[in-house]
């Protein structure tokens, strides 16, 4: 399915919370460190709508009873005080589900009801005789994006799946219908002409069957795209089953949102129409096998093949399955990235008589369908910094820079060129770049080609030849293997299973990343998502049903037993991880579909297609695998096992690890290998026993793999399995009790819930804030109100409404503002989320106001596998008491009227998160005590004669850049001249003060304005000929007194002098009018008791190379490993991997600098690409050895004055202590600048 918007937002870690009586402090694993509000549905979403399932009729008049059931239900709901109407009658569509969806118009403003019950609307509906169950209708949104084009392209994703081999055999799905539940379809699209045989409009039509374009109109484009993956037949574009037909069940209007009652209606309609294959690329992140959509899908799967998208929330990590893909017996589908790139041909023609045929990739893969023959120039810059200029009738060939593609597009467009082709650099790969999102009136083409094209063009230009670019509009595509690490790998966005009940999801994968398909109005597009892997499997099913047999069960068993497991791949690092083991089957299912094996294998699996070993409480270790030899000769099978990657599914406080979860070295094992011989036509039962990895029972290790049956006929049948080392029942949804606070809007503080006894007014949007997070699934979670003397021991389910201090009053309603969407508690089948969020409440869940009184907040969460009727299966928590006042009604038991107000105390603190860290570098503090360093003393003198006012300068001294320290470790680095000025009285206009600078100092910041409060105090400049630094004072100094100047001027030693410096003291003299200022600067050896950093800038590849060296001495060990991590993901700069390294310094000179080293780059570098660098050294150093990380970068935007490299350094000591150093940001300064001490360079008083 497309990436779905989530009502409850997720984050990476569980956060901290306030827990004291008045002052908020932090504790690990709390919920309230940030005020993240729970988001109710939008006001136009599904608030006030409910799916109601009725008990099945079994008597002789069942059909007649069904027809009157909806009317009867509406009447009974109305008797509760609600205005109800039927929105969807499921009973009229299919006998599979007896029920309706109803809309209650006044569920948000009921002031009283006939039941006297203040429980939620759902609970009230469930209490009606004849109602089996009820659920709030949930909105479902598409957030898939399409890159559109008017041109089609010859795209063949069928090689990796071997579907192309079936096409070559003439298997095209002729005569087979695939029923698609989606947003509609463009029946007149050139790629789908004659393919759409019918369907139903279930949104705004009458639901009758039709193939009319008007009836099935697709506003979103999603359904058209999905349909084309299955059945497109076009000269340049073929679906999986190009001769199959489509039936469309339209469940979206002209928006990107629908609701689960409409999706349910669509599945039931397809079921009632006797569809063999139902394809559903829609869902929500509720991975429960018994959610209403999953349960109905499970029932449909008993009779039909139903193929469902696994979801696009891979960033959430394991245990984030979706519904209806969590259904039992359904085919849930994950996504695999495309393994080829769609390229297009062009020719470069040299005036020297040579030409080069090239392939280029447009940013979105679309064909540039024009004939072009224009001059092309080789630019001296790169794509981020185009140096030349052109016109609409010229093209530019430029090195691909390290900035994002939008900046490249803008750079080329601003230079005036009509066409831009970038040749690859720094191993970025010739691949699509979807971050352009820009348009230009002049730039018609932006594309990338291989690095070799740049080499050829450079050689031609070096001989003074000119170049021309030729592109033909009728050119055939030139697809080639994708040059990116993720090509052919499991898509990172695929939602991970298992389901909350430990069921397999997904069970298989198919191409879904960078997919080409049809788009409404005759257009084509590319997109990514499990939405598009799902119709791929549906298309394979169409081939099987059309040309083999209509046997859904055998198809599923063949599908999983022949799929190819793909390796574990981390998109963040851009590489295969886990030593090449298969990715966890919780991410990919059985793996990538192999359509040829599915058809051809003579060995057929007759038992379950997947094995769920379940959790430690419900472990099923022994399974029977039944196979049949359908061939003409006996086959001997060797039974063995291969483990997939084992992942750590949760952290230390049991929140699921997010993408990419840590890998564990442990793996499951097979009890013993076996050999089985099966005669032709015979079946055999094989008993296998799997043992868990050698980990603790509550480790959360999620382990998986495949049983292998290697036949003597060269067929390899596999049976995937999965298990979890944890008790699902004990993996409770709540880490601890939800936290209830009073929030003070004036100072942003959280106070205890009953702080100062102030009453809340929920009816006026003033209530406590209740913070919580779900670390695992729960069938039901509720925020209720109870009396002050109510005890959790009183809880029974369903709770019964009463009144008084020992009463359960009811669940509450969350509504953020008047007229806004609302959410009623209890929440059912919740979406887990790691970041603490809060809810408030306005009323009881049925809309009635909360009367004045004293209450407690009662929160409850039902465990997975729990029985709601058993109180022991719930987590139950109570808050402290607090008061609520409704209008002017007095609070019972109080002799005064309570009012809500801002807390009077000022002693509260806002919630904060505290951290502790060790410093990464050492700084020497300023001191007046004598300093002695080894070496001689050298005086740097200035001979120039200063002019201007006398005795204006109080101090002139050199120091390290942005550090008040006179110690210089790297003489080539930038320094600062700290300038301090005192002008006690106003000075005449145009006055000057100046000082002389020794010739050894250069690159002095100059031509800068010196600011004062609201004005300019002067202008500073440096004359390199006279060696005078002069400040021309401005008018501000004529009407101020007691003026103090305090600022820092960047400078550095000349390269020649820096190279000659040795350890010692350098006395720097700055003559001024009236006196000579002397300041000592000390050049010392590198301190090998701390981390040392060195920055350098050198010419490189037409630009500058910015190299940061971070050196870690052995004195900080012994350690198990040292890890350095840095990234340019948040800026336009990039790393140059060829110039980055890791070495061990084995010899040092007298200044403790490395003179000999051993290169360990190959073994230590884990990740190096343009945007990310990470290296880990796993050995302990000897003696005085030093570990050096060298990280080199280039700028994306060469006009920027700085380049920054922020890095993290982690040291795992051998004693078990992990030292996490503070993040350091190293700033490369290209140009000298002036820095002020405070906000202004000058301060003073008005005279």
What is the rounded distance in angstroms from the CA atom of residue 548 to the CA atom of residue 878? 61
Q: What contacts 1115, CB < 8 A, 6 or more positions away?
A: 1088, 1089
The total of other beta-carbon atoms located within 10 Å of residue 380's CB is 12
Distance from the Cα of residue 267 to its chain's centroid: 31
What is the rounded distance in angstroms from the CA atom of residue 910 to the CA atom of residue 951? 49
Q: Catalytic annotation on 531?
A: yes
What is the rounded distance in angstroms from the CA atom of residue 1149 to the CA atom of residue 1098? 24
Burial grade of 112 (CB within 10 A; 0-12, 13-18, 19 or more): exposed
Look at residues 782, 835, 776 and name the one whose alpha carbon lies nearest to residue 36. 835
Question: Secondary structure of 270-335 in the HEC alphabet?
Answer: HHHCCCCEEEECCCECCCCCCCHHHHHHHHHHCCCEEEEECCCCHHHCCCCCCECCCCCCCEEEEE
> Residue with structure tokens 């729990």?
866
- Measured CA to CA in angstroms, residue 111 lies from 123, 549, 843, 847, 848 at distances of 17, 60, 10, 7, 5
Tell me if the bond preceding 729 is cis, omega within 30° of 0. Answer: no
The total of other beta-carbon atoms located within 10 Å of residue 1097's CB is 14
Look at residues 426, 508, 252 and name the one whose alpha carbon lies nearest to residue 1136. 426
- Measured CA to CA in angstroms, residue 485 lies from 200, 431, 573, 1001, 1171 at distances of 42, 11, 9, 48, 14
CB 1001 within 8 A of CB 1049: no
960-993: b (≥16 Cβ within 10 Å) or e: bbeeebbbbbbbbbbbbbbbebebeebbeeebbb
What is the rounded distance in angstroms from the CA atom of residue 771 to the CA atom of residue 34? 10
Interhelix angle 292-301/260-272, rounded to 10 degrees, is: 10
Please, what is the end-to-end C-alpha distance for the chain in angstroms? 73
Q: Catalytic annotation on 182?
A: yes
Look at residues 714, 718, 668, 424 and name the one whose alpha carbon lies nearest to residue 565. 718
What is the rounded distance in angstroms from the CA atom of residue 469 to the CA atom of residue 375? 6
Q: What is the maximal distance between C-alpha atoms in the chain? A: 116
Q: What would the two tokens of residue 66 be?
A: 């069904």
Q: Is residue 262 within a helix (H) or strand (E), and if so which, with residue range?
A: helix 260-272
Burial grade of 784 (CB within 10 A; 0-12, 13-18, 19 or more): buried
From the list 66, 182, 261, 849, the catalytic residue is 182
Q: Catalytic annotation on 1021?
A: no
What is the rounded distance in angstroms from the CA atom of residue 106 to the CA atom of residue 841? 18
- Measured CA to CA in angstroms, residue 992 lies from 66, 222, 978, 986 at distances of 99, 72, 19, 13
CB 38 within 8 A of CB 8: yes
Q: Is the dihedral of CA 379, 383, 384, 390 positive or negative?
A: positive
Q: Does residue 243 sit in helix, strand or coil?
A: coil
From the list 101, 505, 531, 1140, the catalytic residue is 531
From the list 222, 547, 641, 735, the catalytic residue is 222
What is the rounded distance in angstroms from the CA atom of residue 1193 to the CA atom of residue 1199? 15
Burial grade of 930 (CB within 10 A; 0-12, 13-18, 19 or more): exposed
697-724: b (≥16 Cβ within 10 Å) or e: eebbbbbbbbbbbbbeeebbbbbbbbbb
- Active-site residue list: 182, 222, 531
């Amino acid at each position: 399915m497309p990436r779905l918007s989530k009502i409850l937002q997720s984050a990476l870690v569980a956060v901290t919370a306030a827990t004291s009586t008045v002052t908020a402090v932090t504790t690990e694993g709390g919920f309230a460190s940030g005020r993240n509000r729970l988001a109710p549905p939008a006001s136009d979403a599904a608030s006030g709508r409910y799916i109601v399932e009725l008990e099945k009729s079994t008597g002789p008049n069942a059909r007649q009873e069904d027809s009157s059931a909806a009317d009867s239900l509406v009447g009974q709901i109305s008797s509760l005080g609600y205005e109800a109407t039927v929105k969807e009658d499921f009973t009229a569509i299919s006998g599979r589900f007896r029920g309706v969806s109803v809309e209650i118009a006044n569920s948000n403003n009921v002031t009283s009801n006939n039941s006297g019950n203040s429980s939620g609307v759902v609970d009230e509906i469930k209490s009606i005789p004849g109602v089996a169950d009820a659920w709030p209708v949930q909105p479902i949104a598409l957030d898939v994006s399409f890159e559109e084009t008017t041109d089609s392209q010859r795209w063949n994703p069928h090689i990796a799946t071997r579907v192309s081999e079936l096409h070559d055999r003439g298997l095209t799905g002729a005569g087979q219908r695939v029923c698609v539940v989606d947003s509609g379809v463009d029946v007149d699209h050139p790629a789908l002409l004659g393919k759409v045989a019918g369907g139903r409009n279930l949104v705004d039509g009458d639901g009758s069957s039709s193939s009319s374009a008007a009836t099935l109109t697709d506003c979103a484009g999603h359904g058209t795209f999905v349909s084309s993956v299955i059945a497109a037949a076009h000269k340049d574009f073929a679906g999986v089953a190009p001769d199959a037909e489509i039936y469309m069940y339209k469940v979206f209007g002209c928006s990107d949102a629908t609701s689960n009652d409409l999706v349910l209606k669509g599945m039931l309609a397809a079921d009632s129409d006797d569809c063999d294959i139902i394809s559903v690329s829609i869902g929500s992140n509720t991975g429960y096998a018994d959610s209403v959509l999953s349960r109905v899908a499970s029932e449909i799967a008993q009779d039909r093949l139903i193929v469902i998208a696994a979801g696009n929330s891979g960033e959430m990590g394991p245990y984030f399955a979706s519904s209806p893909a969590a259904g039992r017996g359904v085919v849930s589908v994950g996504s695999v990235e495309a393994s080829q790139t769609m390229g297009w041909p062009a020719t470069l023609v040299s005036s020297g008589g040579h030409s080069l045929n090239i392939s280029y990739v447009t940013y979105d893969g679309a064909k540039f369908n024009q004939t072009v023959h224009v001059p092309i120039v080789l630019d001296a810059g790169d794509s981020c910094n185009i140096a030349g200029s052109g016109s609409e009738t010229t093209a530019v060939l430029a090195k691909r820079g390290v900035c994002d593609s939008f900046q490249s597009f803008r750079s080329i467009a601003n230079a005036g060129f009509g066409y831009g082709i970038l040749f690859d650099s720094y191993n970025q790969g010739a691949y699509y770049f979807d971050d352009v999102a820009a348009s230009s009136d002049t730039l018609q083409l932006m594309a990338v080609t291989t690095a070799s094209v740049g080499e050829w063009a450079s050689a031609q230009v070096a001989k003074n030849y000119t170049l021309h670019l030729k592109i033909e509009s009728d050119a055939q595509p030139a697809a080639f293997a994708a040059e990116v690490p993720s090509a052919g790998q499991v898509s990172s966005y695929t939602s991970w299973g298992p389901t909350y009940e430990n069921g397999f999801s997904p069970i298989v994968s198919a191409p879904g990343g960078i997919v080409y398909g049809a788009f409404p109005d005759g257009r084509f597009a590319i997109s990514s998502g499990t939405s598009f892997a799902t119709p791929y499997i549906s298309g394979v099913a169409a081939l099987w049903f059309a040309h083999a047999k209509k046997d859904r069960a055998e198809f599923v068993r063949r599908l999983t037993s022949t799929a190819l497991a793909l390796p574990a791949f981390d998109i963040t690092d851009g590489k295969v991880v886990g030593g090449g083991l298969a990715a966890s089957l919780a991410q990919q299912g059985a793996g990538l579909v192999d359509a040829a094996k599915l058809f051809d294998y003579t060995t057929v699996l007759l038992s379950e297609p997947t094995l769920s070993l379940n959790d430690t409480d419900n472990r099923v270790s022994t399974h029977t695998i039944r196979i049949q030899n359908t061939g003409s000769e006996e086959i001997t099978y060797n039974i063995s096992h291969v483990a997939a990657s084992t992942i750590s599914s949760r952290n230390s406080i049991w929140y699921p690890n997010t993408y990419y979860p840590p890998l564990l070295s442990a793996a499951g094992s097979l009890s013993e290998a076996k050999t089985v011989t099966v005669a032709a036509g015979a079946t055999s039962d094989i008993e296998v026993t799997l043992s868990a990895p050698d980990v603790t029972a509550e480790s959360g290790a999620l382990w998986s793999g495949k049983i292998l049956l290697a036949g003597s006929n060269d067929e390899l049948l596999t049976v995937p399995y999965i298990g979890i080392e944890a008790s699902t029942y004990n993996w409770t949804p709540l880490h601890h009790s939800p936290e209830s606070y009073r929030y003070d809007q004036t100072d942003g503080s959280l106070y205890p819930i009953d702080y100062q006894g102030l009453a809340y007014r929920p009816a006026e949007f003033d209530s406590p804030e209740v913070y919580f997070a779900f670390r695992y699934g729960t069938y039901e979670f509720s925020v209720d109100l109870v009396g002050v003397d109510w005890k959790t021991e009183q809880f029974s389910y369903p709770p019964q409404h009463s009144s008084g201090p020992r009463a359960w009053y009811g669940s509450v309603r969350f509504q953020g503002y008047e007229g806004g969407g609302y959410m009623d508690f209890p929440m059912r089948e919740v979406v887990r989320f790691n970041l603490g969020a809060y809810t408030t409440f306005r009323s009881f869940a049925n809309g009635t106001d909360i009367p004045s009184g004293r209450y407690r907040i009662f929160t409850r969460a039902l465990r997975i596998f729990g029985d709601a009727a058993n109180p022991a299966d719930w987590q139950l928590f109570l808050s402290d008491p607090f008061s609520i006042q409704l209008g002017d009604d007095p609070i019972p038991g109080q002799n005064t009227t309570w009012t809500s107000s801002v807390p009077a105390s000022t002693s509260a603190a806002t919630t904060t998160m505290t951290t502790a860290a060790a410093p990464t570098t050492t700084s020497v503090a300023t001191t007046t005590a004598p300093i002695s360093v080894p070496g001689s003393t050298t005086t740097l003198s200035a001979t120039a004669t200063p002019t201007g006012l006398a005795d204006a300068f109080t101090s002139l001294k050199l120091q390290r850049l942005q550090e008040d320290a006179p110690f210089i470790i790297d003489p080539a680095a930038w320094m600062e001249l700290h300038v301090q000025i005192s002008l006690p009285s106003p000075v005449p206009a145009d006055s000057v003060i100046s000082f002389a600078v020794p010739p050894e100092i250069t690159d002095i910041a100059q031509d800068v304005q010196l600011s004062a409060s609201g004005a300019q105090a002067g202008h500073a400049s440096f004359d390199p000929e006279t060696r005078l630094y002069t400040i021309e004072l401005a008018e501000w100094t004529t009407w101020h007194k007691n003026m103090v100047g305090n600022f820092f001027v960047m400078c550095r030693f000349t390269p020649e002098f820096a190279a000659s410096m040795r350890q010692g003291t350098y006395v720097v003299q700055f003559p001024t009018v009236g006196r000579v200022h002397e300041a000592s600067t000390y050049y010392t050896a590198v301190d090998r008791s701390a981390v040392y950093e060195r920055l350098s800038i050198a010419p490189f590849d037409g630009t500058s190379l910015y190299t940061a060296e971070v050196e870690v001495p052995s004195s900080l060990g012994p350690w198990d490993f040292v890890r350095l991590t840095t990234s340019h993901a948040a800026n336009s700069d990039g790393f140059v991997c060829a110039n980055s390294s890791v070495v061990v310094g084995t010899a040092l000179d007298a200044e403790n600098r490395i003179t000999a080293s051993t290169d360990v780059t190959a073994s230590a570098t884990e990740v190096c690409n343009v945007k990310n660098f990470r290296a880990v050294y796993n050995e302990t150093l000897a003696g005085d050895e030093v570990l050096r990380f060298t990280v080199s970068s280039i700028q994306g935007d060469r006009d920027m004055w700085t380049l920054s490299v922020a890095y993290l350094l982690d040291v795992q000591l051998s004693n078990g202590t992990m030292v996490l150093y503070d993040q350091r940001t190293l700033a490369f300064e290209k140009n000298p600048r002036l820095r002020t001490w405070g906000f202004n360079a000058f301060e003073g008083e008005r005279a």
